[in-house]
Amino acid sequence: MIEIQNISKSFEDKQIIHNISGIFEKGKTNLIIGASGTGKSVLLKSIVGLIQPDTGTVFYDGRNFTDADKEMKAEIRREIGMLFQGGALFDSKSVEQNVMFPLNILTKMSPTEKIDRVNFCLKRVGLENVNNKMPSEISGGMKKRVGIARAIVNNPNYLFCDEPNSGLDPQTSILIDEQMISKLPP
């Protein structure tokens, strides 16, 4: 469960979010909906700690994330998977290397186990035989799906998706929604 209490954030003189509180319960898909420029991404980034909120606290299963030291934050972040608006795939790595990246850094799995896990996650998001392609060689929708595969490869406790459907055609949007709702968590 994630609990946020009185989150506020301003950039210079402009207040982006003000006193947002809420509880995101375990096993549920929670949506943050709002018009463009109302601070959805800022709230999301405040929750995962990419932006330091001006006020307020975030708790991950009772653990205070906002006031945690760097070690503790890193520990909690290793339980988080996140899909970014543009996919945020590493340009210099292939699809397979991108998805395998969290496994290389955060686990001690053998190379065979890693490959199996990567192929399993890519299959879950409907991608096969793209392992050796570079991010520049695949479409926007495929990038999003690779981003999802990378976000779930490490079996995260918390999965955040920042506008997973933005810039996609309706068919791919439906596909991604289906994958997130019916197939996740792995």
Partner 1 sequence: MIFLGSLVVRRESLGTYYKLVLEECILVGVKSLFLFALVSTFIGAVTTVQTAYNLVSPLVPNYIISNVVREMTILELAPTIMALIFAGKVGSSMSGNLGTMRITEQIDALEVMGINATSYLVLPKIIASILMYPMLVIFSGACALGGGYLVGTLTGIISPTDYIYGLRYAFNEYTVTFALTKALVFGFLISSISCFKGYYTKGGAFEVGVASTEAVTTSVMAVLIADYLLAQLLL
Q: Which residues bind partner 1 (CB under 8 A)?
A: 45, 48-50, 70-71, 73-78, 80-82, 84-86, 88-91, 101-102, 104-106, 154, 160
- What's the N-to-C CA distance of the chain in angstroms? 18
Residue 26 vs 108, nearer CB to partner 1? 108
Q: Which is nearer to partner 1, 3 or 79 (CB)?
A: 79
Whichever of 18 and 88 has its CB closer to partner 1, that residue is 88
CA distance 122 to 131: 9
| Smallest separation, CB 171 to partner 1 (Å) | 25
CA 128 to centroid of chain Cα atoms: 21
CB of 56 to partner 1, least distance (A): 19
- Residue indicated by tokens 């397979």: 96
HSE on the CB side for 114, CA within 13 Å?
18
- The closest of 48, 37, 62 to 7, measured between CA atoms, is 48
Number of Cβ within 10 Å of residue 86's Cβ equals: 14
CB of residue 45 to partner 1, shortest distance in Å: 8
CB nearer to partner 1: pick between 135 and 141: 135
Smaller CB distance to partner 1: residue 80 or 121? 80
Pairing of strands 63-64, 80-83: unpaired
As a whole number of angstroms, the distance between CA 151 and CA 156 comes to: 8
Show the tokens assigned to 66.
């906002």
Shortest separation between residue 105's beta carbon and partner 1, angstroms: 6
The nearest distance, CB 5 to partner 1, in angstroms, is 21
